[in-house]
Amino acid sequence: MPRLSENALSVPPSGIRRIFEMAAELDDIIALSVGEPELPVARHILDAGAQAWNDDVTHYTPNDGIALLRTAIAAKLRRDNHYLVSGDQVHVTAGGAQALHMAMSLTLAPGDEILIPDPGYATFTMAPRLLGAVPVPYPLTPDGGFEPDVEQLDRLVTPRTRVLLVNSPSNPLGVVYGPDLLRGLLAFAARHDLWVISDEVYEYFTFGARHVSLASLDADDRVFGVYSLSKTYALTGARVGYLVTPTGIANTFRAAQESIVSCVNAPAQMAAVAALEGDQSHVTAARERYRRNIEAACALLDELGIRYQRPGGAFYLWIDVSHADEGNVSAWAEKFLVEQRVAVAPGVAFGAAGEGWIRICAAGKTGPLLTALGRLPRP
C-alpha cells in the first residue's frame, strides 16, 4: 500500500474523543466534555434556513459567501467589534474551524512556525500539522493568570516564526484579555513582523470584562479575525463562521476556498443572515444562563475547596484535579467517567500544560452541572 502523507499522519487525535466515545457506551452520564450550547436555536433562524431550502436556494454561492451575509457581517463588525472593513475583507467559512484553517493556509508554508496557546483549543495544533507547519506552544500558567507573557513569547521566536495565534475569550481557560495586553501582543507581532490570528468565537460570552477585538487595535493590517455563529447562536451543526482578513488578499482567499469547499452551504448562509440581523435577545439570554451557571459552579467549588480558574468569558470551567489524578489526568478522567458517570475533558487534550486540570462545559443545565461538580474529589 502507498503511505499516507506525513502531514496527515502527524495530526494528533483529539484527546476529548476517547471520553466522548466511552460516554456514548454508558448510561446515566452527565456529559460535560464537549463545548456544545444546549439552548434551542431561535425560531427566526430556523425559519430562514427552512425557507431557503423550500425556495430552492441550493446553488453555488460566491466563494466568499453571499453578498447579503457579508454585508450583515460588516455591519456587525462595525456595531459590536468597533472596526470598519471593506467588503472584500469578509469571507464566509464552514465554521470557525475552517476560518482558522484558511487563516493558517494563507500564512504558513511547510516548516513555518506558529505560536499557539498551551492549553488551547486542539485545532490550533491540528491544523498547522496538516499544512506541514510547526505549532510552537506558549505556556499559559496559573501564576501568570493564564495570560500570555510577552517576554516568554520573545524567547520562542525563531527565523521560521510567521504567526502568533491569540484566543480571547479563551477555550479552555475562559480568560479574557484586556486592551493593554492585546496592544502588547500586537507590538510583539510588529517587532517580529508576524501575522496574528485572533480567534474570537466566544466574543459574546463575557461576564464583566468587555470583549475587545484585536483588529480594532490593529494599526498595521496584520490581524486575521476568526469568528463563528456556532457558539453565539447555538448553531454548531450549521457550520457557518467567517474570516476577516487584512486588505489585499481577497483573490488569494477566493482561490484557496475554491479548492476546498467552493462555498458554504447556501441555506445555512441564509439562516446566518437571519441570525445576525434578527432579534439578539436569545444571545443575551444565553449569556445570562452561562453567567448564572458559572457563578453557581464557582460558589460550589469554593465551598468544596477545589482550585479552579474563575472564567471571565466563554462557558467553561478549568479545574485543578492534580490532588487526585496521580500525574495522569487522561487516565483519571476515564476512571471518573466510569465510576462517577461524569464526562469531562482532560486538560492534556488542550496541550501539555493542561496536565493536572480538567475542562468542564457550563453551557448546559445548572442542576446536572452542580451534581457533577459535587462528585469531584476534594483535596
Nearest residue (beta carbon) to ligand PLP: 95
- CB atoms near residue 90 (< 10 Å): 25
> What is the C-alpha to C-alpha distance for residues 322 and 66, in angstroms, rounded to an integer?
49
Q: For ligand PLP, which is the closer residue by CB, 121 or 318? A: 121
Q: Which residues bind ligand PLP (CB under 6 A)?
A: 35, 95-97, 121, 167, 171, 199, 201, 228, 230, 236, 241
Quick one: 97 or 273, whose CB is closer to ligand PLP? 97
Q: Is 199 helix (H, G, I), strand (E, B) or coil?
A: strand
- Nearest distance from residue 230's CB to ligand PLP, in Å? 3
DSSP letter string, 270-319: HHHHHHHHS--HHHHHHHHHHHHHHHHHHHHHHHHT--EEPPSBTTEEEE
Nearer to ligand PLP, 123 or 293 (CB): 123
C-beta separation of 245 from 73 below 8 A: no
> What's the closest the beta carbon of residue 104 comes to ligand PLP, in angstroms?
12
Q: Which is nearer to ligand PLP, 185 or 201 (CB)?
A: 201
In the chain, which ranges are continuous DSSP H helix?
6-9, 17-24, 43-54, 67-76, 95-107, 123-130, 150-156, 179-191, 250-260, 266-277, 281-304, 329-340, 366-374
- Residue 79 Cβ vs ligand PLP, minimum distance, rounded to whole Å: 21
* Least CB distance to ligand PLP at residue 158 (A): 25
Whether the bond between 172 and the residue before it is cis, its omega within 30 degrees of 0, is: yes
| Closest distance to ligand PLP from the beta carbon of 315 (Å) | 10
Nearest-approach distance from CB 201 to ligand PLP, in angstroms: 4
- Cell representation of residue 124: 490550533
Residue located via cell numbers 488578499: 249
Q: Which is nearer to ligand PLP, 126 or 321 (by Cβ)?
A: 126
Name the helix (H) or strand (E) containing 268: helix 266-277
Neighbours of 234 (CB within 10 A): 22
Residue closer to ligand PLP, measured from CB, 96 or 267: 96
Q: Residue 95 or residue 354: which is nearer to ligand PLP going by CB? A: 95
Q: Smallest distance from the beta carbon of 361 to ligand PLP, in angstroms? A: 10
